[in-house]
Amino acid sequence: MHNEIFSKEVDALYRALPVPLAANLFNALIIIFVLHGHIADTILGLWMGANILVLLLRFANYYKFRFSTISLPISTAYNFYMFGIIASGLLWGSSAFYLLPDSANHAVILIIIVGGMVAGAVGSSSYRPESYIVYNLLVLTPFAVHFVVNNADASWLIGITILLFSLMMIISSKKFHANFSEVILLQLKQQELLDHLKEEKYYTEHLNENLLQEMIEKEQYQTDLIKALEEARQASIAKDAFFATMSHELRTPLNAIIGFSQILIHRPDTPKELSSTIEKILLSGKHLLELVNTILDFSKMKAGKMELHYTVFSVSELCKGISIIVEPLASKRSIQIHYPALRDESLRGDRQMIQQILINLLSNAIKFSPDHASIEVRYQPDLENRFSICDHGKGIAKENLETIFDPFIQIYAHNNESLKGTVLGLAIVKEMVQAHGGRIWAESTIGEGSCFYFTIPSNIT
């Protein structure tokens, strides 16, 4: 079992290798571009040449492992991989002693690039824990030492920050490896189960001595199938739980990028031209974090780990907040959104979740409505607290109304033309509504439009 796990870990390392190799070359070219004129061309040329040599050796090792007809022993392949990652780590770590320019701004860019490489390596080098730890320490330790022993004002703070970042990445890599090992164990157990089922099937197919014996064997076979289905169900639950609990590990590198970007933006010594670039990094990081959160929230819902935070809030204030978000999208296409006339109606539930339900449904309605159309939002305050969002779009075919709330289902019109709806948005909406004890459904007439209804019962506890 240990050898099988080790073999799969080494195979995963090589499968993930092309991306970090490409990123390594790309980052090296950026550094050459940024430091040109600030570091001697001879040093930059030698450093770039050494980088290309290491990259070629690592790529040749990758090609030999993945495509050569002569297979290497797995331990030898792993030793070659470690040799490559140690060489790369030494090359990048040693740059702290000869690539750091006198310009503080260019030094910050170099640190950001190096830190980004170390953070990105969590997903490509953590399949074996020691491979990432060695790379992390070889790259970041020289930079941390350089700034700690530097006599410049407050430079030791940068060194301490680099050390803390290094520790945080190592902890994330260990959690990544632990979860990956659990997945491998599940795969091996499932394979053992499949092999066992194949053996049982072969055995039953060759038992034809008499009818009674065949019946006995078939009953045993059915029992094994039931057991296999139960184990497969448990494996599926474990998979959902795994993705739900990975939220922290996936968000950590993104939060680090966002946090460092915010620190750099608010530094008084950061030049304006650099602030614009850092702001783009910050906005891109936040956008990527939102995409990750959408997938992870859906996984957490399916795993039963999404918690509701009940409060009593004004429906009128809720609609005002939603209009601020969706009105710019609607105004681009001259679409009018009519909200219900409300007074002091209040609702008890998870305000953020209910707001997200309405934003998702309104965004779909805007997307599927023609220009200069109108959308009606209605609210009926009663025990069920029914909301409705009606548009005047193409409409949805009747046979598709039962499946549009299923995950990864595309919405189609009456002519089977894809309306390009989100494959998770309506599924997440359904989970949020059901979490409140409510229900959701849709009605549609081809050529006239669609109405989506959902309820938030008042008697929820």
449 secondary structure, DSSP code: E
- Give the model's pLDDT for residue 313: 93
d(CA 130, CA 9): 12
461 secondary structure, DSSP code: -
* Residue ranges of domains in the chain: 2-302, 311-455
pLDDT band per the 50, 70, 90 thresholds, residue 461: very low
What is 311-455's CATH number?
Answer: 3.30.565.10
One-letter amino acid for residue 267 of the chain: R
Residue 417 CA, distance from chain mean position: 30
d(CA 429, CA 454): 10
Among residues of the chain, what percentage have pLDDT more than 70? 85
CB-based contacts of 6, cutoff 8 Å, min separation 6 = 74, 78
Is-contact 343 305, C-beta < 8 A? no
Nearest CA to 408 out of 383, 426, 393, 435 is that of 426
The model's pLDDT over 357-380, given as tens digits with 9 standing for 90+, comes to 998 899 889 988 999 999 999 999
Nearest CA to 424 out of 322, 304, 297 is that of 297
Predicted TM-score of the model (pTM): 0.43
Among residues of the chain, what percentage have pLDDT more than 90? 27
pLDDT of 275 above 50: yes
Q: Which residue has the higher pLDDT, 292 or 316?
A: 316
How far apart are the two ends of the chain, measured CA to CA in Å? 48
The model's pLDDT over 397-456, given as tens digits with 9 standing for 90+, comes to 888 887 888 876 655 544 444 444 445 678 888 988 998 999 999 999 988 899 999 999
Mean pLDDT of 213-217: 78
d(CA 430, CA 433): 5
Q: Average pLDDT over the chain, rounded to whole?
A: 83
d(CA 93, CA 143): 7
The first and second tokens of residue 300, run together, are 């957490």
Nearest CA to 62 out of 85, 93, 29 is that of 85
Phi, psi of 42 (to 5 degrees): -65, -45
Place of tokens 């030999």: 64
Mean pLDDT of 310-325: 91
The model's pLDDT over 220-272, given as tens digits with 9 standing for 90+, comes to 888 888 888 888 778 766 666 666 566 556 667 778 788 878 888 888 888 87
